[in-house]
Amino acid sequence: MIITKQFLPLFIISLLLSACSSTSNQAFVIDPPSESQIENSVKQQVALTLNAFTPVAGQALPNNTVLEAYQARGYEPMWIKDKKINMSIYKLLDILEQSYTHGLNPIHYHTDIIKEYLALKQPTPQQLAEMDVITTIALTSYAHDLSNGRYEPQLIDPNWQLDAPNNNWRDLLYIDSATDMVNSLPLLAPRSPQYQILQKWLVYYQDLARKEKDIFVNAGVPLSAGDEGPRVAQLRARLVQLGDIRFSTRKVNEEQFDLRLKDALMRFQQRHHLSADGAAGSKTIEMLNVPLETRAKQIAYNLERWRWLPSELEANRIWVDLTNYTMEMNLNGELTSMKVVIGKPERKTPVFKGLMTYMVTNPTWRVPHRIARENLLPKLQADPNYLVKHGYKLYSSWSIGAKELDSTKINWKAISEDKLAFRFEQEPDEGNALGQYKFMFPNKNEIYLHDTPAKHLFRETNRAFSSGCVRLENPNEFAKEITKGYKQFNEMNKTLKTASNSVISLPTYIPVYLVYFTVVPNANGMLEFRDDIYQRDPLMEEAMGYSAFNARESI
């Protein structure tokens, strides 16, 4: 067996315990040390033990929180009371060993080492102190991971900037009773129904992969209604395995492609964002043959993404679902949804949270440097009249009071990307790239929601065409909803009629979430597996460094 550097402290402690432990699983009951002895040992051992138990993987363990909690208690042990080990420690071990149901890895929570301590017949004060501190580390680490996620999102993907940590997990350590601490642990998980459904499906896929072999559909010609043969039987069995066909006692010809099978296949196609034609072509068979273990890992990645969100979402919010190419507006108990266009893969729309504070009607578009270099300059080098034809003005620099220039008198072919310092502005008109509206939630990425003249793009299924900002299918409807019942509604209508460029402050500021999930529950509670447009799942796999299925197997 190879012991890596990060596992070495745990391995050494495990060896020491094995050398002095008995095979009994009962906690000590004879001649226990005094409480003062244990408290003195806790004070001596807490810093040493915290240093020994460096994190195994992922985010740094919040050791300072453990130290502060012991200091606040005067180094009184958390798990030993009246010379007895609190029985809630066994419930904690059960919870930690079930952490795989959240897509977390039980190896991070030291359960085997805690069990070694509990097996000692006559532990010394030092051993009791070590057990107390290690158990508290395990509790704290799990509380943190369940509440905030184990991994630092921006270390995985710099384009992922949505991380909303809370401190509820810290409060857990200041509850007087160890029993109450353990009972409060499950309350730290995200409260979204979507998280809870994902968790149930994770367990389903983990258990299924453990108990059964994948049923794969052999490659071949497309299968459709009326076909017969062993490949049809494979298709039917796979759809039963994945839950698209519910078990029935009704006898069927397994090798016949009937209407019931077609309906089930269409449901499968819909929840995998495939063309729902009810025929099993090459792309459908490819999706059918994704292993159960792979699906379990994908679910685990998305559970972690939910833990990066606030534990409770605001009732009024705007939810831009990037992998679904939609925007949902939750306002005053009503839900409105519309299609959106998002950033192309080479210009990803970042994941973050903002606060929408104002809107602009008939906006002028100041072209960002990157778009000017990558888009405008090549077009100007091909056609020096491009700016005039498309309603752009050119200024000598980005400074206030910069001089307006005649773009047709500049030798654009002599200008390289790194030397392009002009400011380009597109005037408000029907061809303006921002259309009639721009909805602002100030952020460092200069991302916003806006109108677009390119309405034909909303007819596409996959809509990753923008340079990063989010284009709305029905911006007029959106503008009406966020100003409904306020004076800003009339103000907006006036500016639209006069075609004037105006900034309108919103009557109520609205949180805006730009989110990215590759697995979500649909309205029927079935899982929807989406295209990983920006290839973020491989980054999650590399960071998390383990299989959700193997985590289940290791218990």
Positions marked active-site: 450, 469
Angle between helix 125-148 and 292-307 (nearest 10):
90
- How far, in Å, CA of 265 to CA of 239, rounded? 7
HSE at residue 386, side-chain half, CA atoms within 13 A, is 15
Closest to 322 (Cα-Cα) out of 162, 194, 148 = 162
Could you tell me if 287 and 216 are in contact, meaning their C-beta atoms sit under 8 angstroms apart? no
Q: What is the 3-state secondary structure (H, E, C) of 358-418?
A: EEEECCCEECCHHHHHHHHHHHHHHCCCHHHHCCEEEECCCCCCCCEECHHHCCHHHCCHH
What six digits make up the tokens of 496? 């639209």
- How far, in Å, CA of 320 to CA of 510, rounded? 13
Phi/psi of residue 373, nearest 5 degrees: -70, -45
- How far, in Å, CA of 475 to CA of 207, rounded? 46
Could you tell me if 336 and 323 are in contact, meaning their C-beta atoms sit under 8 angstroms apart? no
Size of the chain in residues: 555
End-to-end CA distance of the chain: 18
Contacts of 279 by beta carbon, 8 Å cutoff, 6+ apart: 222, 223, 224, 225, 265
Could you tell me if 519 and 306 are in contact, meaning their C-beta atoms sit under 8 angstroms apart? no
Q: Which helix (H) or strand (E) holds 507?
A: strand 502-515
Within 10 angstroms of residue 102's Cβ, the number of other Cβ atoms is: 24
One-letter amino acid of 492: M
3-state class (DSSP) for residue 310: coil
Cα angle 98, 547, 110 (rounded to 5 degrees) comes to 45
